[in-house]
């Protein structure tokens, strides 16, 4: 099966409130799929449906060939990892003791716990109580917990929210490494820079509906004015179309050592979101 997730005409209501409406998309096996939108757009509700924590009001759902009530059962949960606001660890236990306990719960070896400790790079803090860790280190422990059983599919709900840039960069590198090893990652975020950097494809969600779905590169190109800004050494500025003639012109500038600056006008994903929805990501 090439698709690891298939949502077909999914809607979710809580009483009279519509949280999700007519979601229809597929996630390819082996990709990092970004599910992007502001707070309240429906990202967490979607993850809850995909992991069996809540049931769709309408539509059909297939996750790793699990459907209906089998989504969320023991066999299903053994194949997924989840990192969200609800992820927890034992506050009064050390980093190492937490990993050992969760490894035992997942029927994994001590060696596996050691591998995860190396992966999250907390060997120096292994004896530190979880409650005494920084927020970034806690997040790394929780990520490690979600990976102990080698999940086929990893759900990350705003994994780097409020983290410092150094910790964020470390987690990003880890996610790329995991993905190269074959783990499919479903990432929710309102950080468009993060999505552009990590994701093979992204869906832009607003008020429970998908507005756009494509690769970050294709979306940025589609919403650009498809021009190149060129400045020569005399500070003369030209905005040129993406044509063969423009390419030849730039080659000439380079040959004559007369090219000072060149850039495209590709917009960022947050700019595209504002253009499509009229709203900022907050």
Is the same domain home to 9 and 77? yes
Q: What is the pLDDT of residues 119-170, one digit of tens each?
A: 999 999 999 999 999 999 999 999 999 999 999 999 999 888 878 898 889 8
- Mean pLDDT throughout 185-195? 92
Number of folded domains in the chain?
2
Is the same domain home to 135 and 201? yes
Query: What one-character-per-residue DSSP string does 88-105 give?
Result: ---TTSBHHHHHHHHHHH
- Amino acid 70: pLDDT: 97
- For residue 61, the number of C-alpha atoms closer than 13 Å in the C-beta half-sphere is 23
**Structural domain includes residue 273:** no
**Structural domain includes residue 142:** yes
**Structural domain includes residue 275:** no
Q: Does residue 41 contact residue 207 with C-beta atoms inside 8 Å?
A: yes
* Percent composition of the chain: helix, strand, coil (DSSP 3-state, to 5): 35, 30, 35
**Structural domain includes residue 133:** yes
| Separation of alpha carbons 105 and 241, rounded Å | 59
Is the same domain home to 107 and 208? yes
Is the same domain home to 151 and 259? no
Is the same domain home to 104 and 209? yes
How confident is residue 1, by pLDDT bands cut at 50, 70 and 90?
A: low
Q: Which H or E run contains 16? A: none
Kindly report the length of the chain.
Answer: 282
Q: Does residue 202 contact residue 189 with C-beta atoms inside 8 Å?
A: no
Is the same domain home to 12 and 114? yes
Q: What is the pLDDT of residues 201-239, one digit of tens each?
A: 999 999 999 999 999 999 999 998 888 899 999 999 999
Strands (E) located in 29-104: 32-36, 58-63, 66-67, 80-83
**Structural domain includes residue 14:** yes
Is the same domain home to 140 and 115? yes
Average pLDDT, the chain: 94
Is the same domain home to 122 and 176? yes
**Structural domain includes residue 271:** no
Tell me the three state secondary structure of residue 219: helix
Is the same domain home to 51 and 179? yes
- Supply the CATH number for residue 46's domain: 3.40.50.300
**Structural domain includes residue 248:** yes
Is the same domain home to 130 and 81? yes
Expressed in angstroms, the distance from the first to the final Cα of the chain is: 36
**Structural domain includes residue 180:** yes
The residue out of 220, 249, 275 marking a domain boundary is: 220
Is the same domain home to 88 and 30? yes
- Amino acid 56: pLDDT: 97
- Mean pLDDT throughout 246-260? 95
Is the same domain home to 116 and 238? no
How confident is residue 281, by pLDDT bands cut at 50, 70 and 90?
A: low
Q: Residue 174: which domain range?
A: 3-220
What strand order describes the sheet that includes 32-36? 80-83, 153-157, 184-189, 32-36, 201-206, 209-214
């Amino acid at each position: 099966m090439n698709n690891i997730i298939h949502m077909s005409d999914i809607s979710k209501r809580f009483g009279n409130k519509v949280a999700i409406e007519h979601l229809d998309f597929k996630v390819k096996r082996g990709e990092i799929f970004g599910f992007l939108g502001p707070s309240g757009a429906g990202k967490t509700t979607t993850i809850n449906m995909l992991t069996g924590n809540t049931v769709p009001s309408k539509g059909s759902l297939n996750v790793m060939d699990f459907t209906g009530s089998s989504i969320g059962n023991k066999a299903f949960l053994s194949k997924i990892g989840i990192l969200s606001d609800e992820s927890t660890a034992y506050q009064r236990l050390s980093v190492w003791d937490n990993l050992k306990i969760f490894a035992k719960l997942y029927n994994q070896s001590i060696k596996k716990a050691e591998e995860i400790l190396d992966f999250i790079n907390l060997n120096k803090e292994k004896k530190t109580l979880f409650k005494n860790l920084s927020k970034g280190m806690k997040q790394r422990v929780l990520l490690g917990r979600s990976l102990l059983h080698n999940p086929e599919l990893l759900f990350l709900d705003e994994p780097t929210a409020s983290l410092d840039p150094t910790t964020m960069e470390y987690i990003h590198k880890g996610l790329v490494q995991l993905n190269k090893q074959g783990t499919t990652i479903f990432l929710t975020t309102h950080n468009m820079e993060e999505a552009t950097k990590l994701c093979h494809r992204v869906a832009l969600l607003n008020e429970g509906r998908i507005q756009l779905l494509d690769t970050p590169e294709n979306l940025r190109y589609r919403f650009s004015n498809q021009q190149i800004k060129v400045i020569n050494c005399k500070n003369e500025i030209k905005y040129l179309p993406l044509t063969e003639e423009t390419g030849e012109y730039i080659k000439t500038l380079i040959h004559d050592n007369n090219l000072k600056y060149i850039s495209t006008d590709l917009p960022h994903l947050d700019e595209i979101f504002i253009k499509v929805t009229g709203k900022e990501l907050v």
